[in-house]
Amino acid sequence: MKNRTLRTGDRQLIRDINMSLVVNAIRQHGPISRVDVARATGLGRSTVSGIVGMLLKEEFVREIGSGHPDSTSPAVGRPPVMLEFNPRSRFVVAVKLAPASITAAVTDLDANVVGLAERPISARLSEGAVRQQISEAVYAVVSDCRISMDRVIGVGVAVPGIVDSRTGVSISPQFFLWQNLPIRNLLEEEFGVPVFIDNDANAATLAEKLRGHGRQVSDFVCVTIGIGIGAGIIIDNKLYRGAVAGAGEIGHITIQEDGPECACGNRGCLEVFASDAALVREMKLMVESGCSSVITRIAAEENRGIDRPMIARAAKEGDDAALCVVRQAGEHIGVGLAMLVNTLNPEMIVVAGEAAMDFGNLLLEPIRDSIRRRSLSVLAQRLEVVESRLGDMIWIVGAASLVIDDFFGAPIYERHEHVAAVSIPDLMQGS
């Protein structure tokens, strides 16, 4: 919420706050009666009844039958009509931009995926091509799901690298050629709905907070491991982005002074030792030295070069060389994460990303061991290191949550940051 302007206290603000209180009470506690909504929000029953009427008209909530009689009701013994949130009253489009692919999905307002499409792209995209590729993917998946854009409340976009989520600018995307690309403005012009953009590791972290392990804790780190290595940081239940939106760039922590050169221009970065490219490089060295017959056999069977899934298969078959490569990567990652443990003292670290999915405990155990050996013991003893349960949907859930969090957020801020931004109170104005 940094750098957002507080709204002044007027009647409309009070109405918007009341609307937000009611709909969120139903989202969080439904099925729930109108009487219990009034109790939960502290609002008068007539106020709640009026708001519920508008929400029913717009299909954000629905009546689902009767509950147990309420002895405090004016009509003693009459079963109250129960209300529940309708997550398919509107939809969200979520986009994950990766160096070799773009994934677009339609989700409901609980971030459940309704439809999904993935297509290959080139990392050498021009500014115009970015807009075109995203637009084509979005229109395709919306069409496949047979919904119209006027039922879409917004588009969430997760991209690699440093992102200014406040301005919607992809500052330094690491794997792409552009710099300072105003993705939000480009896509809002295209779609006419609010667009929210954030770093992919941050999006994954928000997904964990919404649907994963992060629901249980108020301070945690989510590290994503694959083509690159990044992290999202939750402090006191809030995502910490840093002064210039660069918090969590753990892949560029120096773990070996004067080590190999990294794509970022520095030397000895964590990504040089534990990213996909590092795993493949080390595995090739093992093969060239004659240490792995399993990976050679798999490469011949699949008729392609060595990659991360191939290394994972060899490791699961018990290949010593592949197991060694994975273990070394996990130890290096643990070095970087130990620095975060000693600095931030999180309750939990969630390990996510393609490598975590492929290797599972083969990667997780050396990470845990390395963290334990390099963190202050009192901090490590109270730290839980777990694998994400969200799989490859973590990026989509996270991108969708960028939109959902804003839509249902407290209406106490001016909404000038997004030209087309709307919320439930906005949609109720015509009711």
Single out the residue of 119, 112, 350 nearest to residue 248, CA to CA: 350
Question: Exposed (0-12), middle (13-18) or buried (19+): which is 59, by Cβ within 10 Å?
Answer: exposed
| Residue 276 and residue 338 share a domain | yes
Question: Quick one: what percent of the chain has pLDDT higher than 90?
Answer: 69
Single out the residue of 280, 256, 205 nearest to residue 235, CA to CA: 205
Q: What is the pLDDT of residues 74-115, one digit of tens each?
A: 555 578 899 999 999 999 999 999 888 999 999 999 999 999
pLDDT band at 187 (very low <50, low <70, confident <90, very high): very high
Sheet holding 101-107, edge to edge: 113-120, 101-107, 91-97, 152-159, 195-199
* CATH number where 26 lies: 1.10.10.10
**Whether pLDDT at 373 is above 90:** yes
Q: What is the DSSP letter of 147?
A: -
| Residue 97 and residue 74 share a domain | no
pLDDT band at 71 (very low <50, low <70, confident <90, very high): very low
Q: Which among 27, 62, 85 is the end of a domain?
A: 85
Instruction: Give dist(CA 171, CA 286) in Å, integer.
Output: 38
Instruction: Give dist(CA 251, CA 223) in Å, integer.
Output: 10
Instruction: Give dist(CA 55, CA 49) in Å, integer.
Output: 10
Domain that holds residue 348: 215-389
| Residue 354 and residue 416 share a domain | no
What pLDDT is recorded for position 423?
Answer: 64
E strand segments, 332-380 = 348-352
Q: What is the DSSP letter of 143?
A: H
| Residue 232 and residue 183 share a domain | no
Provide the residue type at 79 as one letter.
P
Residue 150 lies in a domain: yes
| Residue 243 and residue 380 share a domain | yes
Q: What is the pLDDT of residues 256-267, one digit of tens each?
A: 998 899 988 899
Residue 416 lies in a domain: yes
| Beta bridge partners of residue 233, listed in sequence order | 221, 240
Residue 273 lies in a domain: yes
User: How long, in residues, is the chain?
Assistant: 431
**Whether pLDDT at 412 is above 80:** no
Instruction: Give dist(CA 92, CA 115) in Å, integer.
Output: 11
| Residue 379 and residue 240 share a domain | yes
Residue 110 tokens read as 């609980």
E strand segments, 303-375 = 348-352
Report whether 136 contacts 121 (CB < 8 A). no
Q: Which helix (H) or strand (E) holds 169?
A: strand 169-172
Instruction: Give dist(CA 202, CA 158) in Å, integer.
Output: 8
| Beta bridge partners of residue 221, listed in sequence order | 233, 349
What pLDDT is recorded for position 17?
Answer: 86
Single out the residue of 429, 423, 404 nearest to residue 20, CA to CA: 423
Q: What is the DSSP letter of 373?
A: H
| Residue 221 and residue 143 share a domain | no
| Residue 142 and residue 259 share a domain | no
Report whether 415 contacts 191 (CB < 8 A). no
Q: Which residues contact 381 (CB under 8 A, 6 or more apart)?
A: none
**Whether pLDDT at 429 is above 70:** no
Instruction: Give dist(CA 93, CA 293) in Å, integer.
Output: 45
Residue 144 CA from chain centroid, whole number: 23
| Residue 376 and residue 351 share a domain | yes
Lowest mean pLDDT across 22-36, 74-88, 252-266, 282-296? 74-88
Provide the residue type at 115 as one letter.
G
What pLDDT is recorded for position 333?
Answer: 97
**Whether pLDDT at 155 is above 50:** yes
Instruction: Give dist(CA 386, CA 217) in Å, integer.
Output: 13
Q: Which among 85, 116, 142 is the end of a domain?
A: 85
Residue 346 lies in a domain: yes
Single out the residue of 90, 172, 133 nearest to residue 426, CA to CA: 90
The number of helix segments (H) and strand segments (E) in the chain equals: 16, 15
What pLDDT is recorded for position 99?
Answer: 85
Residue 403 lies in a domain: yes
**Whether pLDDT at 23 is above 70:** yes
| Residue 358 and residue 223 share a domain | yes
| Beta bridge partners of residue 82, listed in sequence order | 33
Rounded CA Rg of the chain: 24
How many domains does the chain contain in total? 3
* CATH number where 120 lies: 3.30.420.40
| Residue 406 and residue 379 share a domain | no
Residue 202 lies in a domain: yes
Mean model confidence pLDDT for the chain: 89
Q: What is the DSSP letter of 124?
A: -
Residue 1 lies in a domain: no
| Residue 329 and residue 283 share a domain | yes
| Residue 268, helix vs strand vs coil | coil
Q: Which residues contact 267 (CB under 8 A, 6 or more apart)?
A: 254, 256, 257, 258, 259, 260, 261
Instruction: Give dist(CA 349, CA 213) in Å, integer.
Output: 9
Residue 278 lies in a domain: yes
Residue 388 CA from chain centroid, whole number: 12
Q: Which among 22, 57, 85 is the end of a domain?
A: 85
